[in-house]
Each structure stands twice: as structure tokens, then as C-alpha cells.
Chains A and B, each alone.
Chain A
Amino acid sequence: AQSVTQLGSHVSVSEGALVLLRCNYSSSVPPYLFWYVQYPNQGLQLLLKYTSAATLVKGINGFEAEFKKSETSFHLTKPSAHMSDAAEYFCAETQGGSEKLVFGKGTKLTVNP
């Protein structure tokens, strides 16, 4: 069965530091990959998506992710963390040829002043 692995359920960074959230996918065919963000008491919002057009994908709020087939990875980065980035982040991939999304367990990002 397909699975998405997010390494680190909690990540803590200082304001202004690099943010790196790790995601590994399992699909053996070219996947569609997504990063979502969830703020407290809200639904998930799309940050960015990979659709094979380019390996480096830019999203909202200064986030970007790089698709690396050799590593089956799709890590999320932001050069400089802001307090408002504190939230939970979910990586997801489409399952097979369906519309179903397989989500990782999520990584909670804390930004320290």
C-alpha cells in the first residue's frame, strides 16, 4: 500500500532560521504531491503542489519544495521562519490512478522568538 512518511512529528526552529520539513513518498509511478498547512482550529490549506512540470515548486508564504525521484523525497523548505509559520504541515500524494490522497502523519512546526 502506498504511504507517505514525514520524518519528525515535531520540528522547532528559531525565528529567521531555515525551515526544513521532510517527506518521502512511496509511489512507483510519477506521483502528484502536495503540501498542506493546518492552523489551529482550521482546515487544511494548500501550500504547493508538484505535477511534474518542474522539480522545484514554489508555493505561498515563501515556501518551496523540491521533487527528487532518486530519493523519493519532496521536502518542504523556507529560508527564514516567521512566527506566523507555526502550524502543522502535511505531505500527501495521490493514490494510484484515483483521486484519493494519502496523507503523512503531519509535522508540527514551532517557531521560537
Chain B
Amino acid sequence: DAGVIQSPRHEVTEMGQEVTLRCKPISGHDYLFWYRQTMMRGLELLIYFNNNVPIDDSGMPEDRFSAKMPNASFSTLKIQPSEPRDSAVYFCASSRGRDRNQPQHFGDGTRLSIL
């Protein structure tokens, strides 16, 4: 089975530009999570969805960040306008079912650099 697929793998852009990160979860998984990883702050949960509905966005740092899940097989995380402090690796993960023991499956991440 295909795992969680993220694109692009790398993104370099200038401050002020709009950035869109994409994620395709594993088929049949009904939870989708967006994380950010930095050296200083480690892994931070930004937002997660259940059945395409945002459940908790308390980790989204500012209004510049937004996430959508228009259908069960696609999600986007958008930053507009981007700033150098947004530079990080962004991970998408998905899991199946309401049972808390179901592990999250991670994509390989998008390494974002804002100049």
C-alpha cells in the first residue's frame, strides 16, 4: 500500500510569497494531522481533521496559516504571507479509526526554506 504522500519535498521561496503544501493520506484513514518540526521546538501539532472536518487547530501559529481538506484523499496547508521563521520541516500524518491505539503514519515531509 502507498504511504502518506507529501509534495513538494523541498520548497525554497522568498519572504512574502504564498506557500502551499500538499498531502495525500493513506486510503481508508479518516484522521489527518499536520505537524511542524524545528530544532528549537521539536515536533508541534498544527491541526488535525476527522472525516475532512477540522477538529483542533489550536496549534496553528497565526492567521497566516490555513489548512483545508476538501475530500478524503487530499489536504493542503497554506502560508500567506510566508516569513523566514516559518522555515521548518512540515509533516502530514494519517491514522484510521477512533481507537486511540491506532498509530499515525507519517509522510516524508516538506522541507520549507523562506529566504
* Residues on A facing B (Cβ under 8 Å): 32, 34, 36, 41-46, 49, 51, 90, 94, 97-101, 103-106
Contacts and interface: CB of A to CB of B under 8 A. Distances in A.
B34 interface: no
Nearest to A47: B103
Contacts of B103: 34, 46, 49
Interface in B79-115: 91, 93, 95, 98, 100-101, 103-109, 111
Contact of A99 (B95, B106, B107): B95
Contact of A94 (B31, B55, B100, B107): B100
B56 interface: yes
Contact of B43 (A32, A46, A103): A103
Interface secondary structure of A, over-half rule: loop
Given A99-B100, A100-B56, A42 B108 contact: yes
Nearest to B109: A43
Q: How large is the interface on B (under 10, 10 to 19, 20 to 34, 35 or more residues)?
A: 20 to 34
A98 B56 CA distance: 10
A101 B101 contact: no
Given A32-B101, A43-B91, A94-B100, A100 B106 contact: no
B61 interface: no
Given A99-B100, A106-B42, A41 B108 contact: yes
Contacts of B101: 32, 49, 51
B42 A44 contact: no
Nearest to A103: B43
Q: Across chains A and B, which 10 residue pairs bring their CB atoms closest together, nearest first?
A: A43-B106, A51-B101, A44-B106, A103-B43, A46-B103, A94-B100, A43-B108, A32-B101, A105-B42, A32-B100
Contacts of A51: 101
A46 B106 CA distance: 9
Contacts of A36: 106
B107 A43 contact: yes
Contacts of B105: 46
A46 B101 CA distance: 12
A104 B41 CA distance: 11
Contacts of A34: 103
